[in-house]
Amino acid sequence: MDNFVVSARKYRPSTFDSVVGQQSITNTLKNAIKTGHLAQAFLFCGSRGVGKTTCARILAKTINCSNRKDNIEACNECDSCTSFNEGASLNIHELDAASNNSVDDIRNLIDQVRFAPQIGDYKVYIIDEVHMLSGAAFNAFLKTLEEPPSHAIFILATTEKHKIIPTILSRCQIFDFNRIGVKDISNHLKYIAEKEGVTAEDEGLSVIAQKAEGALRDALSMFDQMVTFAGNNLTYEDVIKNLNILDYDYYFKATDFILQGEISNSLLLFNEILSHGFDGHLFINGLASHFRNLLVCQDEATLQLLEVGESVKDKYKEQANACNIKFLLPALEICRQCDMQYKGSKNQRLLVELSLMQLASILSEANPMPQKKKFRIKSEDSSTSKKENPTPNEEAPIKEQSAIVKTGRSAQETAPKETIEELKSQASKTIKEELKKEESLVGEKKESYEPKTPKKRRTSALSLSELTKDTHTEEALKEKAEYSSDLREDFKEEQLLQKWEALIQKIKEEAKEGSSIVLAAMNSRKPILQEDYKIELLVDNKSQLEEMKLARTDIHEFLRKQLRNGAIELLFKVNKEEKLRKAYTDEEKFAKMAEKNPLLHKLRSELDLDFF
């Protein structure tokens, strides 16, 4: 039975050119060997499986090769290369700092450094996971690392650079290894598959490369696992099934349902995903990555950031045309919020389902809630003129147009999709007909009609249209005809108070919502008539002041018409008088009582009374 060797060891790079995804670092090391500018200490930093230890071994092998090639690669034929390949080289020493991290281990290493190499020019000491050394071991290593013998070179490798003390970092030449790209890993897996005689689909290898997260060693381990599972025919389905990866198709389907606003289908799809054993957190994070890829596809310049296979890339381009940034940015925010709240949620499934509902509602038009109308005073002019002087030939077409437009909007919100276009066309046709009628009517009349656009303002808490119900009587109409803003009939304060009480009584009878604050302000104090027909009313607080300001126009109009004086002005002010201080001591209480009855002072003096 042949001994099986995993791909990570069997296909471990032995030359600089065979190192995957670290071309800038390998070129730097080759140039250093070529020019003879080798540092006394190197520090290789980076995440797992990116080639730190591999590059350290290749560097150690190459600098001791006695017959280097023109491309600065080891010959693999000399004694030094042969002994290295067989694992018997005396010039290369590897130390695992994870298990040999004490001061004694470093002292033993230092004792070996002073001996010169028997074959080759350098003795290379590779210390892996150097961040695991203790603080005392680091300090013991400092002097030797700063001034080593000329034949000694140290190569330190670590995955956690931040744990190494600064005095060590300052003595080393630092190389930061990058995570290996998905495309580089996929191409390397394809090369190994051809070497092993395995037929593998590109999409399957691409999924393995993405799952490895930049670590080539992890990708090779997964590749061995897939070959063991599926044999010499490795398909995309085998990969996603064995590695428990959610298929791309689920995300494409979910996005289609979301874009169409189909909440029910989105929830059913999520239920299917859960039934297959996938976690809701995995799904929502994968959906966020899917939206990110769609966002990348919006611009050709960022398309290179999409790390997927060619066939999947075409699907992304097609779906990206159906959505835009106005959808993707809110969708990413919803997924981000769900991701943050998932672990702390008591009902995690409900959290994801709510997020799906929110996503499906992004593109749907929100139906505005009807605003609550407040109690408002309408002027007599507007109420009487609309009822006394209707203009059917001029005002009716415009009102009908407004009704038609409103009908079209409400129909568009409530009607099925297939009838929306028909309603739009009917509304457009009706509007055109009414406009033609209006033009003909305006042409026949001598005076042109110019519709007035009402100004938008917040309504007050009063409504005078119903308070003054006698405006439709003949007497009221006659009074209105005689009234104008130029009238200046004199009136007394008694008449003002009489009209003021009449207004309060009518407001009480109506008892509309929002009138309580106005009534409280009007009842608490009486209006004060000043010069030039100015009427001042003191209110208790700012809340009353705001409500009275809203009702100013309507109250003003009411008083001007009832008192037949167009010069009336209303002034509202907050009462700033200090509240009376209550008497607490006996002396203060006696003084209060004496203010009302001065004879108490006489009684006190005659009886010679005092306070105790």
**Is residue 192 within 8 Å of 7, Cβ to Cβ?**
yes
| Lookup result for tokens 């976690």 | 279
Query: What is the enclosing helix (H) or strand (E) of 9?
Result: helix 7-10
CA atoms within 13 A on the CB side of 257: 19
Predicted confidence at residue 288, as pLDDT, reads: 93
Predicted confidence at residue 458, as pLDDT, reads: 47
**Is residue 6 within 8 Å of 220, Cβ to Cβ?**
yes
State the DSSP code for 300.
G
* 219-238 as b/e: b if 16+ CB within 10 A: bbbbbbebbeebeeebebeb
State the DSSP code for 527.
-
pLDDT in tens, 402-451: 444 344 444 444 444 445 556 556 656 666 665 565 555 545 444 444 44
**Top-level CATH class of 7-176?**
alpha beta
Strand ranges for 159-240 from DSSP E = 173-176, 199-200, 233-234
The fold of 182-242 is Helicase, Ruva Protein; domain 3 (1.10.8)
Predicted confidence at residue 373, as pLDDT, reads: 41
Predicted confidence at residue 79, as pLDDT, reads: 85
Q: What type of residue sits at position 440?
A: S
Is 264 in a helix, a strand, or coil? helix
**Is residue 286 within 8 Å of 254, Cβ to Cβ?**
no
Paired strand residues for 572: 537
Predicted confidence at residue 391, as pLDDT, reads: 44
Paired strand residues for 175: 44
**Is residue 132 within 8 Å of 100, Cβ to Cβ?**
no
Output Rg (C-alpha) for the chain, integer angstroms. 45
**Is residue 167 within 8 Å of 144, Cβ to Cβ?**
no
pLDDT in tens, 263-279: 999 999 999 999 988 88
Predicted confidence at residue 469, as pLDDT, reads: 46
Predicted confidence at residue 485, as pLDDT, reads: 59
Nearest to 97 by CA among 163, 51, 50: 163
Cα distances (Å, whole numbers) of residue 82 to 51, 61, 66, 354: 22, 10, 11, 65
pLDDT in tens, 486-517: 677 788 888 888 888 888 877 777 765 556 77
State the DSSP code for 488.
B
Predicted confidence at residue 377, as pLDDT, reads: 44
Predicted confidence at residue 392, as pLDDT, reads: 43
Predicted confidence at residue 44, as pLDDT, reads: 93
Predicted confidence at residue 405, as pLDDT, reads: 39
Show the low-confidence residues of the chain (pLDDT under 50). Answer: 1, 365-418, 442, 444-473, 476-477, 480-482, 578-579
Check: CATH 3.30.1600.10 for 248-360? no
